[in-house]
Chain A
Amino acid sequence: MTGNQLVKKMKNNIKVLRAEKGITQEELAKALRVTRQTIIAIENGRYDPSLPLAFKISGFFSKKIEEIFSGEE
């Protein structure tokens, strides 16, 4: 994806990464210090996390942000 493309919707693979790690939404929420509802909303693509939270998520899964989040045109 190039910089001049307009991103309409964000996608993420948190659900997959969480399943790989074998943790529940509750455990992930506790680790990131957010509510479980926020994790559900992010996983379902209904809420885009802020940059600090995105960094927290990337740190938790030890992956780059762009490996977790991507944009849909």
Chain B
Amino acid sequence: MNKLTSVFLIVFTLAVIIAAFISGMHALPLAGMVLIIAAAIVLKKKFTSNITVDERIISVREKSSRAAIIAFTFAAVIPAVILVLAGKNYSPVLTAVGYTLQACVTFIMLVDVIFYYYYDRKSIGKENEK
């Protein structure tokens, strides 16, 4: 997908979200999402060559996934701790939200570790020599 198409899709997504907020129609983002997915599939077929994924793209995806996990972890842990601490003084709801966020972070880190060991083992294969 070229840059122009990507920018168009981002702008369209933002426009749908803003329109949903202004109009109060909460089904709008869902309809927008369906439209965006359909548009992305059509545009991808129209504008891209046969080769869209190669080893460099896979390597870039690996790096972006790693960065996403790190970014999510930091972005969620800090508010989670603040919410848990704040909830003790203000509202138990905040505490619950904080613990939920912490659970999400723990889950994603656990999944990361499990898959790390899975791919680590898989890449080694059977150990024939000791």
Contacts and interface: CB of A to CB of B under 8 A. Distances in A.
Nearest to B55: A50
Contacts of A30: 49, 51
B51 A53 contact: no
B54 interface: yes
Contacts of A44: none
Contacts of B56: 34-35, 37-38, 41, 47
A29 B56 CA distance: 12
A46 to B, nearest CB: 9
Contacts of B51: 29-30, 33-35
Contacts of A50: 55
Interface in A3-53: 29-30, 33-35, 37-38, 41, 47, 49-50, 53
A49 B59 CA distance: 11
Interface of B: 49, 51-52, 54-57, 59
Interface of A: 29-30, 33-35, 37-38, 41, 47, 49-50, 53
Given A33-B51, A35-B49, A35-B51, 5 more contacts: A30-B49, A33-B54, A38-B54, A38-B57, A49-B55
